[in-house]
Structure 1
Amino acid sequence: MFKKIVTLVLLLSSMFMSLVHAAEKITVGLIATTSIEDTRKRWQPLLDDLAKSTGTEVTAAISSNYSDIVAGLKENKIQIAWLSSKVALDAVEDGKATVFAQMVKSDGSRGYNSVIIASSKSALTSFDQVSAKPGVYIFADGDKKSTSGYLVPAYYLFSKNKIDPAKLFKKVIIGNHQANFSSILRGEADVATFNSEEMDRLKKEAPDQLSKVRVIWTSPLIPNDPILYRKDMSPALKTRVEDFFVNYGKQKQAQAVLKDILNLSGFQRSTDAQLKPIADLTLFSLLRDNLNNPSLTDAQKQKKFDEVSARFGKLSFVLEASRIK
């Protein structure tokens, strides 16, 4: 009799856990650096494997607009997201999400570079040639929420060299990496932001297209993009999700999937601490914009300086605390 009761309890427990897993659903937010259709095609095999591994229904929310993915995380319409470091910082500061993994490239590297490209047919071979001729060239800049498309060149190329893009270029247009690359090929821009990840992809998939541009500036290394999940996901689901990502890539089929996504070899465990360098860049950028804002009085600038410094002081503490954990 006792054995029958134990068997019944185990059966009911198994049924209950199956119902819990079935009730849980995951929407993964993805940034479309190319087209939405292309991004979905590349990620779908991984999403299918995630569903099988975690026993949950998995769908994708894909957008070229970073704000869409962040809003989805805040509103719990998205539970897991791949974001640029700059946007991930916003999500972490909001308090709803946290970093749990970081992309690892196929060569084992934990970072990539922002680059400035020009047409290979142009005479431009360095950015010094551009800065020597104010008002001559058209610049295709990235979305302000993009790490490699905007934040990194804004700091390392423009701020550190005391260059104001609005004064240097004849015209500035805004787009994602694909749009910027196309603007160079079509002759709609003279120089544009891009990154080494997209260059690696084109080298493999469209070398003829890549040969039509040249790199005229390269940034220091940027930490690879993070993967985040909402903090209020159930602990059991968090564990299953983390285990899936850090172990994905150990089988041949998974290796091919990762390589096709962004030339990846896998993911490593990570925390919000990986965003600290990006937080420092963002702080500098905000303080620079405040200092150079002609519409503010000295008193207003000081007030803004104090507010931004206090905000990033708190954020820096949160990021460092995650390292200790």
Structure 2
Amino acid sequence: MFKSRWIQGVLLGIMAMLVVVACTPTTTQNSNNSPEVASLTRLTFGVGPYFPIPNENRKQFEPLFNALAEQVNLPAEVTVADDWIGISEALRSRTLDVAWLGPWGYMLARHNDPSLQAIATVKYKDKPTYYSVLMARADAPFNTLEEAIAQSQQGTKLRLSLADVGSTSGWLVPQAEFKRRNLDPKVVFDYNEGASHAAQAIAVLSNQVDIASDYDRNLDVLTDEGKIDKSKLKIIWQSEPLPNDPIVVRGDFPETIRTQLQEALVNLPPEQAKTLLPKNYTGFITSDGSNYASIEQAGLLVGKLK
């Protein structure tokens, strides 16, 4: 009898232990003692208007954001903005956790909120840099910016279109170039600003403007999509290499998850980059924001940063 009761006691003890183990929550990848991490139920991502159509923007960038969210066991929520400043403001206001920003948008946002942190810079054709350009029709009677300025000053003003004021290549860098030349483009040219990048080359080719700003990556996209014939354009000015777009996290973003996202970006294999990123984007390099110093200097030069 005693032996039977002893066996029953042992069995009950083992069953109790199994119940305790089964009811103990398992540790997930994003579990942490930090209350900031524990409070996250999703990751909110944002991206600016890189492609002419919002749905195309979503199609091109959502795969990367979903993959990043999976790395930390959280669902992704993706916002596609229709202007460059809007996406940086959303990040600054904590509406977004992570954003793919233009360099100038990053500088503007960080100027108002130094807690924003760049964690990576994208590579385009294996380089972390790109170029701002001024373009004209291939048959234009000038070949350089110097010639265009001279022609516009001596006769009928040439029509110049710069892009959205939140654009690095379409507004900031050309404005800084004119500032370095001690010229006011509003005086020298028949001047307009605020156009989308998608409209710039088309405006030149359709003779709506004589000169327009853009960036080399966008001309590649428009050419690949059959929207322009690049052979009918010529570049009359090109900037020095500019740092490519940063991936930026909001202030007070949990350090654990920030590190995980940065490692996932920097270690993205080339073959996976082909499936997760738009055409010709080949991966990322680590960034702490210091590689955007030239953008900050341009902002100071044109008087938009103090």
**Of residues 75, 98, 106 in structure 1, which corresponds to 2:93?**
75
Residue matched to 2:162: 141
Residue matched to 1:275: 292
Query: What amino acid is the match of 1:14?
Result: T
The CA deviation at 1:271 is 0.5
Q: Name the stretch that deviates more: 237-246 or 269-278.
A: 237-246
**Of residues 88, 91, 100 in structure 1, which corresponds to 2:119?**
100
Distance 2:294 2:272 in 1: 34
Within-5 A mapping of 1:135-174: 135-156=156-177, 158-174=178-194
Q: Is the 8 A contact 1:131 1:168 kept in 2?
A: yes
Distance 1:151 1:16 in 2: 41
The CA deviation at 1:22 is 9.3
Distance 2:203 2:270 in 1: 39
Name the CA shift for 1:170/1:23 in 2 (closer, same or farther; >3 Å): closer
The answer to whether residue 29 in structure 2 is matched with residue 8 in structure 1 is: no
Within-5 A mapping of 1:232-251: 232-248=252-268, 250=269
Residue matched to 1:41: 59
Q: Is the 8 A contact 2:135 2:235 kept in 1?
A: yes
Structure of larger gyration radius: 2
Distance 1:76 1:112 in 2: 29
TM-score (norm 1): 0.78
Distance 1:6 1:253 in 2: 42
Q: Is the 8 A contact 2:103 2:168 kept in 1?
A: yes
Q: How many residues align?
A: 284
**Deviation string for 1:88-147 (max 9, x for gaps)?**
0122221341111111122x2221110001122433322222111234211110222211
Within-5 A mapping of 1:166-315: 166-206=186-226, 209-248=229-268, 250=269, 252-260=271-279, 263-286=280-303, 311=306
Residue matched to 2:3: none
Within-5 A mapping of 1:53-132: 53-93=71-111, 94-106=113-125, 108-132=126-150
The CA deviation at 1:166 is 0.7
Distance 2:190 2:302 in 1: 22
Q: Is the 8 A contact 2:273 2:282 kept in 1?
A: no
Percent of aligned positions with the same letter in both sequences?
Answer: 24
Consecutive unaligned residues of structure 2, counting only runs of 5 or more, are 1-12
Name the CA shift for 1:209/1:54 in 2 (closer, same or farther; >3 Å): farther
RMSD: 2.9
Q: Is the 8 A contact 1:142 1:175 kept in 2?
A: yes
